Amino acid sequence: MQTTLTDSAEEAANILNAGGVVAFPTETVYGLGAGICHPEAIKELFRAKGRPVDNPLIVHIHCIEQIADVAGDINKDASALIERFFPGPLTLVLKKNPCVPDTVTAGLDTVGVRCPANPVAHEFLAHCTCPVAAPSANLSGLPSATSWETVYEDLDGKIDCLLRGKPSSIGLESTIVDCSGAIPVLLRAGAITLEQLLAVIPKISVDTPKDDQEPPRSPGLKYPHYAPRASIVLCHANEKISAQHSSAYIGLSEPPAGFALLKICRNLEEYGRELFSFFRRCDSEGIDLIYCELPSNTGIGRAIRDRLLRASGRH
């Protein structure tokens, strides 16, 4: 398959509207989209990524009014979160409308809905004639793609179109909150922090993965994720570590000398933005071990910890 590379949101949307699979930029990570009214394209999307079919997709919309096309039963907490955080890096799990196919939601009676704030994503989605189901635009299991070049590396020849944009400004996948029950549940940490959510809604429970949880609240979270080829070693600030042959370091505090690749981030935002591209760079430069500093569990640190723990196979 020939992958069309374009900078035109309208051209990319036309390809999607004709039943194509299209990668596009968002502020979190790049997404790989198919129209929810194109069942063959949805199947093709799962094939291109190598994604297990029981891992549901998030449905992307271009304006708040479009939520009514895909979801219903929007309670008070969901309304407050929509008003405060849409458009932005927040996905809400809501009761689905019958028009959303089971292939998108993996048979669940709920649907994840997000309205990206990135202007190119917005323009693209506004030209799409139906809502767009989109997981992250990377081969399943690998670190998410935060630049068009990374999408190209993973998916050239496997998808119909790649809409080029800037590198993702956040670099971590959206915060996911399940608002389909009486008390909202934080299913995945992201750039919208627990503290920010609690400033808008009175109560939220935090989903902690358990091995015996049947069925999981968020099916996709049981799969290995975000892992580079190199092994990950988690470390704490001020812990005594030493560079080894072909080892790299990413974190906030300065490590000892001797790492072949090094990224010291000025703050948590930069750490989140750089994490996945650093993993990719380590793999392309033949690094075997990546030392990653575990930040504290507050603010966006919660999301970075989550990705680091998953990437290292800890949960």
Binding positions for ligand AMP, rule: CB under 6 A: 55-56, 58, 93, 105, 108, 110-112, 135-136, 173, 176, 187, 218-221
Cis amide leading into 184 (omega within 30) = no
Minimum distance from CB of 136 to Mg ion (Å)? 3
From the list ligand AMP, Mg ion, none, which binds 111 (C-beta under 5 to 8 Å, kind-based)? ligand AMP
> What is the length of the chain?
315
Nearer to ligand AMP, 17 or 55 (CB): 55
**Minimum CB distance to ligand AMP, residue 48 (Å):** 13
- Binds 6: which of Mg ion, ligand AMP, none (CB < 5-8 Å by kind): none
- State the DSSP string of 218-268: SGGGGS--S--SSEEEEE-TT------TTEEEEESSPPPS--SEEEE-SSH
Q: How far is the CB of 307 from ligand AMP (least distance, A)?
A: 11
Cβ-closest residue to ligand AMP? 220
Three-point CA angle 191, 193, 198, nearest 5°: 150
Give how far Cα 24 sits from Cα of 118, 161, 172, 211, Å. 10, 9, 15, 34
Judged by beta carbon, residue 136 or residue 168, the one nearer Mg ion is: 136
Nearer to ligand AMP, 12 or 70 (CB): 70
In the complex with ligand AMP, the residue whose CB is nearer, 3 or 218, is 218
| Minimum CB–partner distance for residue 201 and ligand AMP (Å) | 18
* By the rule CB under 5 A, 136 interacts with Mg ion: yes
Q: 253 near 236, Cβ under 8 Å?
A: no
For the packed helices 119-127 and 9-17, what is the interaxial angle rounded to 10 degrees? 40
- Residue placing its CB nearer to Mg ion in the complex, 82 or 311: 311
**Site of interaction with Mg ion (CB under 5 A):** 136
